Structure 1
């Protein structure tokens, strides 16, 4: 898979009855691809994978594939309980997805051998290539990451820990394994805040939740980043991303909740987040509206 441009992690819209709204999801994804997304990652973190049934996650992926229409790669989220992960992986392959993002297993942690086996079990379910997500209960050692990289079906590594030193060692170990086709991603919340540091260690790609909410600002930041326009990049960082991160850090789960709130503020009725996440208060939504307005003013 060849990713060019911003990586789009769409939300999962719910209607008033709490059911996935596939028409709105298709429109949301079409808008993101038309805005220049380099890849679509449905039913992942921003898409509330943690709150979707296997059937819902599979249906979300099917809608994403249809809406993307082959214009960009579609990488479906999977993970959690192993049986759940295998079911979703098989359904994603049947739906025509181009790959899988393997989120951490549910609740329990394991040895490094156990984590490698977890990924290998998911790999055995389909022919789809996978990107492993390094965070939570799935924190891979340098040796484990190198072992996974020896499998040609493992095509990427996404860091969600913020451990720059370990990630640098993994980047080097994968290179030493002879993989020049391996994709490295910054998967931290509001990754724009840390991406300059990640690029410095050989991690050029990042996931952008903000793109799902305000693609014009996210694209402006990406262009400044790609063009090494530090004056422009820092203006966007200071004027938009820093206040957004300050609001995000007030409440657990706001990395997702604020994105849905921002879409609602723009007129897209994507519904609330599912528990255990919570929606912003009216006062927080007003602050978010001010942050979005300030971001657009920078354009």
Structure 2
């Protein structure tokens, strides 16, 4: 699918809380200058509040704009497989290059159930699938052997976005996985260690703000220039973490609004960043001479 960095892009809204498609196009064009892929309608894109008509229009616009220069991956996950299959069909129809599918949340599952669930979904689409493991949001963990079993049983499951935060689990996965299984970091501050272990890249929140710098970091790792990678990581690690000072994507939306690519507007249940959160981001921008 890609090696390096794919930005999990924000979804801009206007003052009426409608999707701002002009801002979306401008932001996607900005990102395309630097990154290796775009992830549309993930967590950072506020996917749970996007309706079906908006979803189809958002994906179609980004796919048309990108025009196969880099892959467009669509977040289609849900805890209802019928909804996932519907979202997958929309992505197929729109010409997307791949799917990012989170493990079921709230109703959760057993490890055996996860194998059956992802296999059921994979068998009903031709598009490549990246599994998404984020226990902090789903309440469940895709264990190493489960991820590998899903990959081996389904030819179009190509890898996993690992956001467990458990570097020991990630190290085990990378040491045991088949050679052609991709592993991407779901946490910006773990991109360096994950890729140093043999991972393939990062699906990034941070690159919404500084795509060029995250691209430089991943390029340095992929070319084994670890001195440069460590310097970049040291410089930007604080901002990577501060973009999670409140629940994602509250801080990153504020940060992108400071760059002028969107308004600082989110849909409920998310609300605008607190004054304290603004100060944290503002101070980071000042320290790094952003703007």
Compute the TM-score of the two structures, normalised by the length of structure 2: 0.88
SS for the counterpart of 2:10 is: coil
Matched with 1:170 is 173
For structure 2, the 5+ residue unaligned runs are none
- The answer on 1:139 being equivalent to 2:136 is no
SS for the counterpart of 1:71 is: coil
- The answer on 1:148 being equivalent to 2:141 is no
- Quickly say closer, same or farther: Cα 1:174–1:165, change in 2 above 3 A: same
Query: What do residues 183-218 of structure 1 show as CA deviations (whole Å, max 9, x unaligned)?
Result: 110112xx1x22222123321311221111222333
Query: What do residues 118-138 of structure 1 show as CA deviations (whole Å, max 9, x unaligned)?
Result: 212322332111010112235
- The answer on 1:160 being equivalent to 2:156 is no
**Alpha carbon RMSD of aligned pairs, Å?**
2.4
Query: What do residues 160-203 of structure 1 show as CA deviations (whole Å, max 9, x unaligned)?
Result: 1022233333334332xxxx332110112xx1x22222123321
Instruction: Report matched runs for 1:93-104 at 5 Å.
Output: 93-104=92-103
- The answer on 1:200 being equivalent to 2:203 is no
- Quickly say closer, same or farther: Cα 1:266–1:115, change in 2 above 3 A: same
CA distance in 1: counterparts of 2:150 and 2:92, whole angstroms:
20
Query: What do residues 247-295 of structure 1 show as CA deviations (whole Å, max 9, x unaligned)?
Result: 633x3x1x31121111111122344122222322244324313312332
Instruction: Report matched runs for 1:1-299 at 5 Å.
Output: 1=1, 3-34=2-33, 36-80=34-78, 81-136=80-135, 137=138, 138-150=140-152, 151-175=154-178, 180-188=179-187, 191=188, 193-230=189-226, 232-246=228-242, 248-249=244-245, 251=246, 253=247, 255-296=248-289
- Quickly say closer, same or farther: Cα 1:219–1:149, change in 2 above 3 A: closer
Is the contact between residue 3 and residue 200 of structure 2 (CA under 8 Å) also seen in structure 1? Answer: no
SS for the counterpart of 1:248 is: coil
Is the contact between residue 195 and residue 221 of structure 2 (CA under 8 Å) also seen in structure 1? Answer: no
For structure 1, the 5+ residue unaligned runs are none
SS for the counterpart of 1:125 is: coil
* Corresponding residue pairs, total: 286
* Shift >3 Å, 4+ stretches: 219-240
SS for the counterpart of 1:101 is: strand
Is the contact between residue 242 and residue 280 of structure 2 (CA under 8 Å) also seen in structure 1? Answer: no
CA distance in 2: counterparts of 1:280 and 1:261, whole angstroms:
7
CA distance in 2: counterparts of 1:226 and 1:273, whole angstroms:
35
- Quickly say closer, same or farther: Cα 1:224–1:142, change in 2 above 3 A: closer
- Quickly say closer, same or farther: Cα 1:243–1:182, change in 2 above 3 A: closer
- Quickly say closer, same or farther: Cα 1:90–1:234, change in 2 above 3 A: same
Query: What do residues 200-250 of structure 1 show as CA deviations (whole Å, max 9, x unaligned)?
Result: 33213112211112223333433444455555444444443215524633x
CA distance in 1: counterparts of 2:267 and 2:75, whole angstroms:
17
SS for the counterpart of 2:68 is: coil
CA distance in 2: counterparts of 1:245 and 1:143, whole angstroms:
29
CA distance in 2: counterparts of 1:98 and 1:243, whole angstroms:
30
CA distance in 1: counterparts of 2:110 and 2:74, whole angstroms:
25
SS for the counterpart of 1:131 is: strand
Compute the TM-score of the two structures, normalised by the length of structure 1: 0.86
